[in-house]
Amino acid sequence: MDWDIVIGLETHVQLLTRSKIFSRGGTHFGQNANTMIDFVDLGLPGVLPVVNKKALESAILFGVAVKGKISEETVFSRKNYFYPDLPKGYQISQLDKPIVLGGSLDVILGNKKIFTVPLTRAHLEEDAGKSVHEGFGNYKSGIDYNRAGIALLEIVSEPSMSSADEAVAYAKCLHNLVTWIGICDGNMQEGSFRMDANVSVKPKGTEALGTRCEIKNLNSFRFLEKAISYEAARQIELLEMGDQVIQQTRLFDSIDNKTKEMRSKENSDDYRYFPDPDIPSIIISKELIDSVSKQMPLLPAQVRESLVTSFGISDEAAEILTSKKSYLDFFNQALNKSCEISGLELGKDQDEGKLAKKAGVISKWMLGRLFAQLNKEALDITQSKITSFELAEILHRLESGSLSNQTAAKLFDLRWQSENENIDDLIKKHNLTEIDDDNLLDELIIGVMSKNEKMILEYKSGKEKALNALVGQVMKISKGRANAQSVKNKIIDAIGKI
Which one, of 217, 173, 227, lies nearest residue 192 by Cα?
A: 217
Residues 491, 470: contact at Cβ < 8 Å?
yes
One domain for residues 61 and 195: yes
CA 306 centroid distance within chain:
19
Q: What gap in Å lies between CA 42 and CA 46, rounded to an integer?
A: 11
Note the pLDDT of residue 465: 84
One domain for residues 365 and 273: no
Distances (CA, A) of 111 to 231, 324, 343, 391: 27, 19, 39, 30
**Extended strands (E) in 236-388:** 248-253, 258-264, 274-275, 282-283
Residues 81, 128: contact at Cβ < 8 Å?
no
CB atoms within 10 A of CB 145: 21
One domain for residues 322 and 191: no
**Residue after which a domain boundary falls, among 258, 292, 326:** 292
CA angle 471/477/478 to nearest 5° reads 90
**Residue 475 β-bridge partners:** none
Sign of the Cα torsion 164, 170, 176, 179 reads negative
Note the pLDDT of residue 489: 77
- How far the first Cα of the chain sits from its last, in Å, is 76
Q: What pTM does this model have?
A: 0.84
One domain for residues 252 and 315: no
One domain for residues 327 and 288: no
One domain for residues 278 and 162: yes
Q: What gap in Å lies between CA 245 and CA 210, rounded to an integer?
A: 8
Note the pLDDT of residue 265: 66
DSSP conformation letters of 184-218: ----TTTTSEEEEEEEEEEETT--S----EEEEEE
Q: What gap in Å lies between CA 170 and CA 105, rounded to an integer?
A: 8
Note the pLDDT of residue 375: 96
One domain for residues 111 and 157: yes
One domain for residues 356 and 271: no
Which one, of 464, 470, 465, lies nearest residue 487 by Cα?
A: 470
- HEC per residue, 388-412: HHHHHHHHHHHHHCCCCHHHHHHHH
One domain for residues 104 and 177: yes
Ranges of residues in the chain with a pLDDT under 50 are none
Sign of the Cα torsion 323, 329, 335, 336 reads positive
One domain for residues 194 and 245: yes
Distances (CA, A) of 125 to 19, 51, 90, 309: 14, 10, 11, 41
Note the pLDDT of residue 192: 96
**Residue after which a domain boundary falls, among 385, 407, 429:** 429
Phi/psi class of residue 272: alpha, beta or left (left: φ > 0; alpha: ψ in -120 to 50)? left
One domain for residues 147 and 26: yes
Residues 185, 191: contact at Cβ < 8 Å?
no
Which one, of 16, 99, 25, lies nearest residue 56 by Cα?
A: 99
Counting the structural domains of the chain, the total is 3
Domain hosting 392: range is 300-429
Total residue count of the chain as it appears in this document: 498
Note the pLDDT of residue 403: 82
**Extended strands (E) in 85-212:** 90-93, 100-101, 104-109, 113-126, 130-132, 142-144, 151-157, 193-203
One domain for residues 205 and 173: yes
Angle between helix axes 325-342 and 164-180 (nearest 10 degrees) is 50
**Residue after which a domain boundary falls, among 429, 446, 467:** 429
Note the pLDDT of residue 438: 67
| CATH code assigned at 480 | 1.10.10.410
